[in-house]
Chain A
Amino acid sequence: MNFEDLKKFFFKKPKNALEGTEDSAPQKPAEAAIPDKLAEKCEKCGKIILSDEMRENFGVCPKCGHYKKLSARERIAMCTDTFCELFSEETGGNILDFPGYGEKLESLREKTGEQDGAVCGEAEIGGVKCAVFSMDYRFMMGSMGHTVGEKITKTFEYATEKRLPVVGFVLSGGARMQEGIVSLMQMAKTSAAVAKHSEAGLLYISVLTDPTTGGVSASFAFESDIIMAEKGALIGFAGPRVIEQTIRQKLPEGFQRSEFLQKKGFVDLIVERREMKEKLAALLKLHCAEA
C-alpha cells in the first residue's frame, strides 16, 4: 500500500495540492502496520475489528479506545493536507561495528521500506506551510541514531532558512545504543538546531506520542514552544521498568502518562487523535497566519 492509498483511508476527500508534483509522493512502499486485510486484532482488548473500521476511526480501537501506534507516514497522512518529502536520501550504516546492528538495519529497511526511523518534509496543515518530522515505531521504536538526528537537524535548518514553523511528531524510546556516543551527540546536534530556529522567532510544536522517552525526550521533544501530547502516551526520561528496578517499588497507575505530565505542568495540551490535525491547524494559524 502506498502513501496515497493511505491518505484515502484516512480522508475520504484527499485534498493534496502537491499531488502529482515530482517530489511530493514518496516512492517507497509506506506500510506494514495496516496491511491489506479485512480484519485485525486490537493489541489491547484482543477484539477482532474490521480494518476499514479501524482506519476510519484513526487507528483507535472502536471497542476499547486503544490507540494503535501509527507509522511515520500514517501520522503525516492523518495530520497534514499536503506533504512533500525532504532528505529521503539520508541513510547510515553500522558506524561503530556494533555486533548484529548492520544486519538489523538491513532487515528493517527491507521490512519497512524506510531508511531509518524518521520521515521529514514540508507540509501544509490547515493552509499553513510548515516543516514536519515524524518518527517511526517500526524502526527500533523510533530510536535516534545518526540518520534520525541528521534528518531532524536538517528539518530545523531548512525551516530556519525558509522561515517556517516546525511540527514534530515524536515517538522514540530514546538514543540508539548501537551507535554509542554518536547517538548521544545527536541530542546536542538537534538541540542546537532547535535553538537556532527558536532564536529566529519561529514556532515549534512538538507532538509527543506513545512512547516518548530517554534521550529524545531529554532533547528536542521538550524544547518546543508548545508541547502537545496524544492522549494516554507514555512520556518520561527513564522507562517505568528502570524506575521500578531503581526504587524497588511499583509505580502508581497513570504515572508518566500524558495526563500525569499535564498535571505536573510539562504538557500544554492533550489531544485526541481525531482532533489532532484540527488543533495543530488552529495553533499554526494563530501563530503564523499573515496579519
Chain B
Amino acid sequence: MNAYDIVLKSREKGRPTAAKYIKKLIDGFIELHGDRRFSDDAAIIAGVGYLGGKPVTVIGIEKGEDTNSKIEHNFGCAHPEGYRKAVRLMKEAEKFHRPVLCLVDTSGAYCGIGAEERGQSEAIAMSILDMIRLKTPTLTVIIGEGGSGGALGLSAADEVWITEASTYSVISPEGCASILWKDSAKVAQASECLKLTAQDLLSLHAVERVIEEKGFSDEFFDGLKADAAQFFAEKSKIPADELVEARYKRFRKF
C-alpha cells in the first residue's frame, strides 16, 4: 500500500472509532463529562473503568459512526473545552495514581470562530504541557487519523502506539498540497513526502509500536488489551519522577 492508500484507509467508513475501543478494552466504563469551565465537548469522550482488572482513565477522540453521531461528535474535531476536559481528567487520574490511556482519531482540532474565541491554542498548549509532566503512566494509541496539534494534545505520553493503517502528521496531505504546491490534486505526493505512515513513524521514533489490525477481530482487541495492561503494570512500578524524566527524554531526542 502506498502512503495515500493508507491515508484513505485511516479515514475509511466502518473503521472502529474510540467508542468501540472503549467498549472492547474497558470493563465497567463510566463516562465523565465537561470541562467545568464552559461545556462538554462530545468530540472527546472520557471516563474511568478497568483495563485488565486495574482502574484506568480513558480519553478518546470520537468521530462518530453514522451521520447523526458524526454530527453529535463534530466529526472528531475537538473544541478547546474538549482538551480542557481531558486535562481535568488526567489530573484526576494523577491524584489517584491511575494510568491514562488516550485514543487518538482526529483530522485536527476544530477551526472555527468559537474555538478561536475560547483559546484553541492555549487549550492544546496546556494539554501538551500538563500531559507531558503528568505523574502517572500514560499511553496513547493512534487508531485512525493523528491530525497535527489536535492529536498531539493527547499524545504527550510515555509511549505512542499506532495501528498499522493509521497516520500521524503535522498537517493533512490536502493542506500540505494546497499550501506548498497550490494544487490539491497533489495529495498523493504530499502523503508520501510527509512520512506519515505507521512504518515511517516507527523508523523516525515518533511511535514505539505498530499494531497489526487483523481486520479488527476479537484477537486484535484482546491483544491490544493485554499489551496495554502489561504496559501499565510495568510503568506503575516506576517512581513518578523517573517516569516524568523518561518522558522528557522521549521527546527531547527530536
Contacts and interface: CB of A to CB of B under 8 A. Distances in A.
Contacts of A146: 254
A112 interface: no
B128 interface: yes
Contact of A238 (B116, B125, B156, B206): B116
Contacts of B169: 180-181, 184
A243 B116 contact: yes
B125 A177 contact: no
A153 B249 CA distance: 12
B122 A222 contact: yes
Contacts of A175: 148-149, 170-171
Contact of A99 (B116, B153, B168, B193): B193
Contact of B128 (A181, A187, A237, A238): A187
Interface in A195-235: 195-196, 199, 213-215, 217-223, 235
A210 B107 CA distance: 27
A182 B254 contact: yes
Interface string B183-221: 000000000011110001100101000000000000000
A232 B204 CA distance: 39
B176 interface: yes
Interface string A224-259: 000000000001111000110011000100011000
Given A217-B121, A222-B125, A180 B116 contact: no
B204 A182 contact: yes
Nearest to B83: A218
Listed residue (B119, B149, B155, B156) with the most chain A CB atoms within 10 angstroms of its CB: B149
Given A184-B170, A185-B254, A264 B118 contact: yes
A194 interface: yes
A177 B149 contact: no
B129 interface: yes
- The 4 A-B residue pairs whose C-beta atoms are closest, nearest first, are A238-B111, A185-B254, A237-B120, A217-B121
25 contacts: A149-B254, A175-B171, A177-B170, A177-B176, A180-B194, A180-B204, A181-B195, A184-B148, A184-B152, A184-B168, A187-B128, A188-B251, A189-B252, A191-B129, A192-B133, A192-B251, A215-B170, A217-B125, A237-B115, A238-B116, A242-B111, A247-B111, A247-B113, A264-B118, A266-B119
Given A188-B156, A220-B125, 14 more contacts: A175-B148, A177-B171, A177-B179, A181-B195, A185-B251, A187-B128, A189-B252, A192-B133, A215-B170, A218-B109, A219-B124, A236-B121, A242-B175, A243-B111
